[in-house]
Structure 1
Amino acid sequence: MAVDQLAVGVREFAGYLNGLVARLDPGGGWYAVFRHRDPEGMRACLDGWEVPPWDVVEALLHDLAGAYGPAAAARETERARSLHRASVAAHDLRPGARASLGGHLDAMLHEQRRAAGRTAELGRLLESAATREEAEVLRVKLAWAQDDHARATARCAELRARLEDLDRRAAPEGRSGGGDVAPTPVPAPAPAPSASNRPEPEPRPRRRPRGSARFAGMMNVLDATAATAAAEEAEAAPAAAAPAVTPPGARAPRGARFAGATQEPVRPARPPEPRQPSPLDDEARHEIDGTVGTLLALRRGGRGGEAHALLAELAHWPAARFPPLAAALHRAGLGADWATLLWEAASLPAGRLAAVADALAGAGRGADGERLLRQGVARPAGEIGDAVLGLADEGRGREARALLDAYVRARPPEETARSAAADPRRLVPLLLEAASEVSEPYRRHLVHALRVTGLTA
């Protein structure tokens, strides 16, 4: 295929990406985080020098949902995915693409292990936190570490799929898919979003690329010190309150959170069970509308502190109010406040957290429910185990399973095993069932971890 023909898919997606970000607020949301972390890399993607990973496109679509509503983002998702695939295919037909992808995969597997280790370390620190303030800081860091691992896992799967596709296309023609062209410098996973360096038009000696896991296919490994510093800096970014993002109509890449992760793709989370949301009375609906109006007035008046305080209060509302409140906030153009509210709600006691997530899933907001659970399980293992037992005792089995599923997907097996200490006879079978939903290798790692800790059913 001629170079000009290959460039068509690249140019078309780059044009689409420029049109998408033109509709977004450059000072807010994930787009602002990407621009702040690595403006040169973001520009490389917009100019078509690099293809951002699909989850970065998802993040931008999430911003779009906050600005124009979930329906607008849902309409864009199919077109964005099609153009993105075409652009990736064009990039992967370049000489030396296979060698480059293989190098990126090696780097990403290393990052996956590093993130798993960081997650385990922060989990231990969280369990021994002396004060509530210290625990909150650790929860934020742990959430970002878990996000790094989730994204690294997704990128490994994406890179393997691209390599397999290259092999399938090369086999009939006897091509190796490799070459002696040096890989294009591309950025690596880090706790905050960033992009890659723009490649120079003429060959030059290889240099260490910069960037982050937010841009898949653009990967290098930052040293632990730099990664940790980036994670701490990311805590201050309001738009990054929730590490994981999923636009309506699209499932975010998910994966087993464990060190030395398997080559086997992980299974997606179970879809929420369809059910009828609890009806609200007129008084509750009136209060929701009034609260959204108050929040709008505070934002328009530049009274951000008061707005945040109000959101912190809303996190303690009854679970049944969350779905209509989400709809009202998005109708009012306050999608960013909804993300902040979910972040606040992630600190609720585990039982209430599960109830809110269940209400969201039952109202068709499964992505928000999963996101809330991912953020909310960043707490001591013993607390998760106690919460699952409490929910089961109250006959809330569906909520218990959802909480445990999110926990297993967010923690390495060594940490997951600790949650069974409260009642191994009841919790070990539930943990193994949840682990089986992630992947068989994860289940094997968990069985080993349970044996090491002496916890068996």
Structure 2
Amino acid sequence: MTVYQLPVEVATFRHWLTELTRRIPPGGGWYGVFAERDPDGLRACFDGTEILPWDIVESLLQDAGEAADGPFALRGGTLYAAATGAHDRRPGGAAALTEGRELMERERRYAESRAHELRDRLHATPASGPDDTARLEHDLAWTRDDHARATARVADLTARLARLGERGDGGAAPGPTPTPPPAKRRPRGARYAWLDGGDEDQGPAAAPAPVPVLPSGGAAPRGARFGGAAQPAPSARSARPAAPGGADPAVPSEADAAEAGRAAANAVYALQRLRAQGRSGEAHALLCEALNGPPGRLPALAGELHRAGLGADWSILLWEAASLPPGRLAAVAGALADAGRAADCDQLLRQGVARPVEELAGACAALRAEGHHREAHALLTAFVRVRAPEDAARLAAEDPRVLAPQLVEAARAVSAARESDLLHALRVAGLAGA
């Protein structure tokens, strides 16, 4: 009988993965979701017979509260690249990668079709009530999550196949891991139009790091689908320098508006080219890059996408934005609200309610600090509409004096029954007098 000996790279990554799970507090999270949806697949990954997809690793990092750019996560990324390389070089590895990519591409197309169907039902079919609408939005949120994960895995498997081809199928040991030079200059071109400008004379642009090659879906700062571990980004207003003469820095100047329009036009042109060439992974990454730039530019991008008939891409971008760290989420929501895109703002906030309660508390605080009280109320209303009363009580516990009465007000706006259930949960949690 042939005994399969685990490559040392895979064993090392498995040990790191085991350490990661030890850091995850009990209580579900994404780890609980994956264990429920595919227990055999998860077990195979922890046994080392399969490699856990990186988007799932990101989610477990978020469960553990590990920063996506922290030393523990960065070490995991390096070990992941080494483990996938060793795993893919086994006999039949290329065929398995090709089969897996075809499967993920089918999953991506199905999720895309399903998302279109659910959006059409939400917009065209009169809902029978708030619960029906909430159910459709819940299904749409999960379908978009499936689509984003499938897109990321297609990109990851494609990159792994490319690396395997460069080395030759079945090659003895991996080559040394190249160390990329430090980034010193902002990349040029429409694809990078959303990145903040920097010193133009700091040296040559950095080459992209060959390893670890992570899925393109990770381009957005989402810290595992609902990126909580990252530090909150500055809000849209606090990030701007003070305007001369006491002008409101939240109001874009004519120069800002012109620059936003130019960047939006360039990004949409690049997006159309990528779509036409079938490079959906890079198109998705381009959308994610938009979220790394100034939030005030996003309304211009929304308008340009809709004019180009790419409204579906704007929906994808909103879905990715719902995964941003709390401060950044609030900044994007505030920018949309300030630009008169209230419907987009509300959609963004509704999609963000699946994230952990401590992150939602941070988002609410950031929105209130920016004077966006209507948006904070919309976020809490969406939360109590789709989350359990016990979850609402945990959210209230993050800031009982402020959040408890606001949650009760939001529940009252949904229904008398929802208010009653929340009040009971608050009493059980000892927050009734908050």
Q: TM-score w.r.t. structure 2 length?
A: 0.45
- By relative contact order (CA 8 Å, sep 6+), the higher-ranking structure is 1
Q: TM-score w.r.t. structure 1 length?
A: 0.43
